[in-house]
Amino acid sequence: MKKKTDGNGTAGADRSEKVLRWLAMVLALACFVAASACGGDGEGSVSGDARTIDTWVVAQEPDWQTVPAVDEIDSVPVEAPPSAPIAPEEVRAASRGDAEGAFEEGRYGEAIDLFSLYTEEHPTNPWGHYMLGLSGWKAGHLDVAETHLLESIGLAPDDVRSRVNLARVLIEAGRPADAVEQAGAAEELDPASIQAKRVHARALAENGDRAGALDKYQDALWINPDDGWSLNNMGYLLIQQGSYDDAIGPLALAARVDSTNVTFLNNFGAALEGAGFPVAALAAFRSAAEIDPGSKAAESARRLEERVDPDAVPEVTRAELAHAYREELIIGSSARSDSAGRWFPHETRPRGR
C-alpha cells in the first residue's frame, strides 16, 4: 500500500511538474511576444518607423520639387511631373544670340549647328540661311554654304550680300562661270557696290577673261580710289601677266592705304623688283618683314640684301608712286601715258630701268 501511495504521489508530482513547466513556457513565450510588441530601443517603434519612411520618401524627391511636409508625404505623386516647357521666344532668342556669338568668335563649326537650329525654327527667314551659308563657307563646307546662300536668295532675291558671297563660294569651288553669273546679278542690283564689282572681277579673271577683270577693278576704283583690295587684286593680276610697270601704281596706293598689310607690301615689292627697282623693292620687302618675320617678304628681303648696296637710295618712293596713281584715277582723261602704254604721268614716271 505504501508503494502504491508513493507511486501515485510520484506520478502526480511528475504531472504537476510537467504542467508547471508547460505553463512557464507559455508565460515566457507570452512575455517575449509582449516585449517584442511593446519594448525595444526605439528604432522599431511606430514613431521610429514613421521617421524612417518619411526620410526615405523625401530623399527620393527630385531636387527641383519642394520637399513636402511630413503629413503630406502620402499625397506626393509617384511619377515626377514633366518639366515646364520653355517659351518658344526664349529658345529663338538664345539660339540666335549663341549662334551670332559663335560666328563672331570664329567657332564656325558650332555656328553651323546653332544656325541650323535657327533655320529649322525660322525656315522663311533669309538672314538665318545667309548666316548659315557664311558659317559653312568659313568652316570649309562649301556645299552647306552654297545650299543656304541659294536659300537666302530664294527668300530675298534682291539681297546683294547673298549673291556676292555665293560668288566667292563658287570661285573657291572651282566654278568661276557660275560665280560670274551671281556676281553680275549682284552688280545689276547695286551698280555702286564695290564688293560686287570686285568679286565680279575675280570671277572674270578665274574664268579666263583678264581684260574684263581689269575693267571691273577699274570701275570699282572709279567709285573709290582708296579701295585697298581692288588696288591689290588689280596689281596682282598685272604681275601675273608680267606687266610689272602697270602693277606698281595700284600696289603703291594699296600699300599707302594700309601700310600694315603684309600682302599689299609684299606684292608692291614684287612689282618694283620686276620693274627693275631693286632698292625700292628691298624697302618694301623689309617693311613687310618687320610686320611678319615669317612671311615670304622676309625671304625676298634676304635675297635682295645680297645684291643691293646697303647705302643705295631707293629709285622711287611709295608716296610718290601712290600719289601719281591716285591722281590718274581721279582726273582720268587728263593723265597721260608714255609711248609704252605705261600708267605713269610724264612728270612722275620713275626712272631706273
Where exactly are the structural domains of the chain? Answer: 88-157, 171-224, 225-353
The predicted pLDDT at position 18 comes to 53
The predicted pLDDT at position 40 comes to 38
Higher pLDDT, 54 or 293: 293
Specify the pTM: 0.66
C-alpha to C-alpha distance for 206 and 348, rounded to whole angstroms: 33
The predicted pLDDT at position 109 comes to 95
Taken as a whole, the chain contains a residue count of 353
**Can you read off the three cell numbers belonging to residue 198?**
570686285
**Can you read off the three cell numbers belonging to residue 79?**
511619377
Q: Per residue in 280-310, pLDDT tens? A: 999 999 999 999 999 999 999 999 999 998 8
Higher pLDDT, 152 or 13: 152
Q: Using the predicted structure, report yes or no on whether residue 79 has a pLDDT greater than 70.
A: no
C-alpha to C-alpha distance for 53 and 181, rounded to whole angstroms: 77
Mean pLDDT, the chain, whole residue set: 76
Q: Are 108 and 135 in contact (CB under 8 A)?
A: yes
CA distances to 191, 231, 339 from 198, in Å: 12, 10, 29
CA dihedral for 29, 30, 35, 36, sign (positive or negative): positive
Q: How confident is the model at residue 331 (pLDDT cuts 50, 70, 90)?
A: confident
Higher pLDDT, 221 or 36: 221
Q: What is the DSSP string of 92-116?
A: HHHHHHHHHHHHHTT-HHHHHHHHH
Q: For residues 109, 113, 114 and 118, what is the CA-based torsion angle, rounded to 10 degrees?
A: 140
Options 3.40.50.2000, 3.40.630.30, 1.25.40.10, 3.90.1150.10; which CATH number does 171-224 get? 1.25.40.10
CATH code: domain 88-157 is 1.25.40.10
Kindly state which CATH superfamily the domain 225-353 is placed in: Tetratricopeptide repeat domain (1.25.40.10)
Do 225-353 and 171-224 fall under one CATH topology? Answer: yes
